[in-house]
Structure 1
Amino acid sequence: MGWVCLLLGLIGVLLPLLPTTPFIILAAYCFSRSSRRFHQMLVGHRLFGPIIRDWEAHGVIPLKVKWISSTMMLLMISYPVFFKPLHWGIDASMLGVAVIALVYIWSRPSRPRQDSNPSSKPELRPQADSADSA
């Protein structure tokens, strides 16, 4: 399954209608369950690695990725409106899928929360019981 997702993601680099990032993240998830070697290959990739690491560690989609994916989605669904006759069922379903995807993308944080950084967490010290202090 990881290879299928990776292949679909790579095809998505060439075809703007097919999303790349979700397939790459899904491939990384599949490889994390099946092949540590290929998971590390994706996490270490110069282009996809930071996106995968942010997603795995914090559930974050960087702002730049949000803008690029939103722009590409809107361009792809607007193309038929301007250059083809309208087919209400197909066009409405495309618009519905795009709206759901956009809502999901923009509902994710753009950067890690401050309290998710381990170095910023206050150190927990065991408290003495009242019996110990008496």
Structure 2
Amino acid sequence: MQGKRIGLLILGWLSLITGIIGIFLPLLPTTPLVLLAAWCFSKSSERFHHWLMNHKHFGPMIHDWQSGKGIPRKARNRAIILMWIGMGISMILIGRLWAAISLICIGLAVCTYLLRLPVRPEKPDDTSI
């Protein structure tokens, strides 16, 4: 059981670090990685889970997700636009029809998911990614 706890702790930290990098690199998704880190910490470390849930920047994102309030419209639209830009660049660089079709299918599935999420009103100080 200790091995599972350590594995989840490592996965939580890797997800959080990658999510933080995603703040600065537009092709890395921040929110899903932070949510994964919160889940991993909830199963492995009460201390780190509490810290993340009360974090100034990441805490509200996790609370909004868990309460079902949704995401800000601006953040959702930005995620969709950046996703399609990144996939378009990948399709051009790879240059394979099967890869382009796969990316389009994945993009449509993710787009459908994002468009079906509840949208919460923007807060004046909302800087969600």
The structure with the greater share of residues assigned to helix is 2
* TM-score > 0.5, shorter chain as reference: yes
TM-score by length of 2: 0.72
TM-score by length of 1: 0.70
Identity across matched positions, percent: 38
Per-residue CA deviations over 1:84-121 (Å, capped at 9, x if unaligned) read 47321112212221211111111111139xxxxxxxxx
Query: What is the count of residue pairs matched by the alignment?
Result: 111
RMSD value over aligned CA atoms?
2.2
Q: Which has the higher contact order (CA 8 A, sep 6+)?
A: 2
Contact 1:51 1:62 in 2 (8 A): no
Per-residue CA deviations over 1:19-68 (Å, capped at 9, x if unaligned) read 11101111111112222221222222232221111001226222222112
For structure 1, list consecutive stretches of 5 or more residues without a partner in the other structure: 113-134
1: CA distance, partners of 2:14 / 2:93 = 32
For structure 2, list consecutive stretches of 5 or more residues without a partner in the other structure: 1-10, 122-129
Report 1:57-72 matches (<5 A). 57-58=67-68, 60-72=70-82
1:104 maps to: 113
1:19 maps to: 29
Q: Which runs of 4+ in 1 moved over 6 A?
A: none
Rg: which structure is higher? 1
Stretch moving more, 64-73 or 37-46: 37-46
